[in-house]
Protein backbone atom coordinates (compact mmCIF):
# COMPACT_ATOMS: atom_id res chain seq x y z
CA UNK A 1 0.00 0.00 0.00
CA UNK A 2 1.53 3.26 -1.14
CA UNK A 3 1.30 6.28 1.13
CA UNK A 4 0.50 9.50 -0.66
CA UNK A 5 1.68 12.83 0.69
CA UNK A 6 -0.86 15.59 1.08
CA UNK A 7 1.55 18.29 -0.10
CA UNK A 8 3.65 16.95 -2.91
CA UNK A 9 7.09 18.51 -3.20
CA UNK A 10 7.77 20.70 -6.19
CA UNK A 11 11.18 20.70 -7.84
CA UNK A 12 10.84 24.28 -9.10
CA UNK A 13 13.05 27.21 -8.08
CA UNK A 14 11.37 30.50 -7.19
CA UNK A 15 13.28 33.42 -8.76
CA UNK A 16 11.30 36.24 -7.08
CA UNK A 17 13.64 36.58 -4.12
CA UNK A 18 16.70 36.43 -6.39
CA UNK A 19 15.51 39.40 -8.46
CA UNK A 20 14.95 41.42 -5.25
CA UNK A 21 18.49 40.64 -4.15
CA UNK A 22 19.96 41.68 -7.50
CA UNK A 23 17.96 44.91 -7.42
CA UNK A 24 19.23 45.78 -3.93
CA UNK A 25 22.83 45.06 -4.95
CA UNK A 26 22.41 47.27 -8.00
CA UNK A 27 21.17 50.17 -5.86
CA UNK A 28 24.03 49.67 -3.39
CA UNK A 29 26.73 49.74 -6.07
CA UNK A 30 25.19 52.73 -7.83
CA UNK A 31 25.20 54.75 -4.60
CA UNK A 32 28.72 53.80 -3.57
CA UNK A 33 30.17 54.42 -7.04
CA UNK A 34 28.92 58.02 -7.03
CA UNK A 35 30.46 58.61 -3.60
CA UNK A 36 33.87 57.28 -4.62
CA UNK A 37 34.69 59.84 -7.35
CA UNK A 38 33.11 63.25 -6.63
CA UNK A 39 35.45 65.07 -9.05
CA UNK A 40 35.23 64.10 -12.68
CA UNK A 41 38.64 65.58 -13.51
CA UNK A 42 41.46 63.50 -12.08
CA UNK A 43 44.08 65.66 -10.37
CA UNK A 44 46.93 65.07 -7.99
CA UNK A 45 46.80 68.26 -5.92
CA UNK A 46 49.93 69.74 -4.34
CA UNK A 47 50.33 69.18 -0.60
CA UNK A 48 50.26 71.86 2.07
CA UNK A 49 50.01 72.29 5.83
CA UNK A 50 47.61 75.27 5.65
CA UNK A 51 43.94 74.77 6.49
CA UNK A 52 42.34 77.83 4.85
CA UNK A 53 38.72 77.24 3.90
CA UNK A 54 36.68 79.63 1.78
CA UNK A 55 33.26 79.72 0.24
CA UNK A 56 33.82 79.00 -3.39
CA UNK A 57 31.95 80.66 -6.20
CA UNK A 58 33.60 79.10 -9.27
CA UNK A 59 36.06 76.22 -9.71
CA UNK A 60 38.77 76.17 -12.40
CA UNK A 61 40.70 72.95 -13.08
CA UNK A 62 44.06 72.48 -14.79
CA UNK A 63 44.93 68.83 -15.39
CA UNK A 64 48.33 67.21 -15.98
CA UNK A 65 47.99 67.74 -19.76
CA UNK A 66 47.66 71.53 -19.15
CA UNK A 67 44.01 71.60 -20.24
CA UNK A 68 41.91 74.25 -18.49
CA UNK A 69 38.35 73.46 -17.37
CA UNK A 70 35.72 75.85 -16.03
CA UNK A 71 33.35 73.77 -13.88
CA UNK A 72 34.25 70.59 -15.85
CA UNK A 73 33.85 72.29 -19.26
CA UNK A 74 37.05 72.54 -21.32
CA UNK A 75 37.95 76.15 -22.21
CA UNK A 76 40.90 78.21 -23.46
CA UNK A 77 42.03 81.44 -21.78
CA UNK A 78 39.70 83.72 -23.79
CA UNK A 79 36.69 81.52 -23.12
CA UNK A 80 37.79 81.29 -19.48
CA UNK A 81 37.50 85.05 -19.09
CA UNK A 82 34.02 85.24 -20.60
CA UNK A 83 32.94 82.16 -18.63
CA UNK A 84 34.21 83.64 -15.36
CA UNK A 85 32.44 86.93 -16.06
CA UNK A 86 29.21 85.01 -16.57
CA UNK A 87 29.73 82.71 -13.56
CA UNK A 88 30.70 85.47 -11.17
CA UNK A 89 27.76 87.57 -12.34
CA UNK A 90 27.41 90.88 -10.62
CA UNK A 91 29.14 89.86 -7.40
CA UNK A 92 31.73 92.27 -6.05
CA UNK A 93 33.67 89.68 -4.09
CA UNK A 94 33.89 86.05 -5.15
CA UNK A 95 36.32 83.19 -4.83
CA UNK A 96 37.76 81.32 -7.78
CA UNK A 97 39.11 78.00 -6.54
CA UNK A 98 41.98 76.80 -8.73
CA UNK A 99 42.45 73.03 -8.63
CA UNK A 100 45.71 72.40 -10.43
CA UNK A 101 47.66 69.17 -10.80
CA UNK A 102 51.01 69.30 -9.03
CA UNK A 103 52.89 68.70 -12.30
CA UNK A 104 51.42 71.79 -14.04
CA UNK A 105 53.89 74.55 -14.90
CA UNK A 106 53.53 77.74 -12.90
CA UNK A 107 52.85 79.74 -16.07
CA UNK A 108 49.41 78.14 -16.47
CA UNK A 109 48.51 79.02 -12.88
CA UNK A 110 49.70 82.60 -13.39
CA UNK A 111 47.64 82.84 -16.58
CA UNK A 112 44.46 81.96 -14.66
CA UNK A 113 45.36 84.49 -11.96
CA UNK A 114 45.91 87.12 -14.69
CA UNK A 115 42.46 86.41 -16.13
CA UNK A 116 40.85 86.99 -12.72
CA UNK A 117 42.94 90.16 -12.21
CA UNK A 118 41.80 91.45 -15.64
CA UNK A 119 38.19 90.90 -14.61
CA UNK A 120 38.86 92.77 -11.35
CA UNK A 121 40.38 95.70 -13.24
CA UNK A 122 37.60 95.87 -15.86
CA UNK A 123 34.67 95.72 -13.42
CA UNK A 124 36.31 97.18 -10.27
CA UNK A 125 35.64 93.98 -8.27
CA UNK A 126 37.62 92.09 -5.63
CA UNK A 127 37.56 88.46 -6.73
CA UNK A 128 40.17 86.16 -5.20
CA UNK A 129 41.98 83.11 -6.54
CA UNK A 130 42.50 80.28 -4.06
CA UNK A 131 44.85 77.43 -4.92
CA UNK A 132 43.36 74.14 -3.71
CA UNK A 133 45.75 71.74 -1.97
CA UNK A 134 45.54 68.42 -0.18
CA UNK A 135 46.78 67.90 3.38
CA UNK A 136 50.12 66.26 4.01
CA UNK A 137 50.02 62.73 5.38
Task: List, for residues 81-116, the tens digit of each pLDDT value.
Answer: 999 999 998 889 989 999 999 999 999 999 999 999
Residue 61 domain-assigned (yes or no): yes
**Which CATH number does the domain housing residue 79 bear?**
3.30.420
Residue 23 domain-assigned (yes or no): no
Helix (H) or strand (E) segment spanning residue 89: none
Q: What is the mean pLDDT of the chain?
A: 86
Question: How far is CA 82 from each of CA 8, 12, 34, 76, 89, rounded to the nearest angstrom?
Answer: 77, 66, 31, 10, 11
Residue 53 domain-assigned (yes or no): yes
What domain count does the chain have?
1
DSSP string covering 23-85: HHHHHHHHHHHHHH---SS---PPEES-------SEEEEE-TT--EEETTEEE-HHHHHHHHH
Residue 6 domain-assigned (yes or no): no
Residue 91: which of 127, 116, 58 has the closest Cα? 127
**Residue 12's pLDDT is what?**
76
If you ran DSSP here, which 8-state letter would residue 134 be given?
Answer: E
**Residue 38's pLDDT is what?**
56
Rounded CA gap, 112 and 96, in Å?
A: 10
Rounded CA gap, 85 and 121, in Å?
A: 12
Range of the domain at 100: 47-135
Residue 29 domain-assigned (yes or no): no
- The mean pLDDT value for 62-68 works out to 95
- The mean pLDDT value for 32-52 works out to 71
DSSP three-state, residue 107: helix
**Residue 29's pLDDT is what?**
86
Residue 40 predicted with pLDDT over 90: no
Please report which confidence band the pLDDT of residue 39 belongs to, taking 50, 70 and 90 as the band edges. low
Residue 36 predicted with pLDDT over 60: no
Residue 22 domain-assigned (yes or no): no
Amino acid sequence: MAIKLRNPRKAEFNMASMSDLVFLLLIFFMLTSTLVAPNAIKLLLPTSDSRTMARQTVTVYINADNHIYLEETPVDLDALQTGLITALGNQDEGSVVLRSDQSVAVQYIVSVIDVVNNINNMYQTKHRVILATQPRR
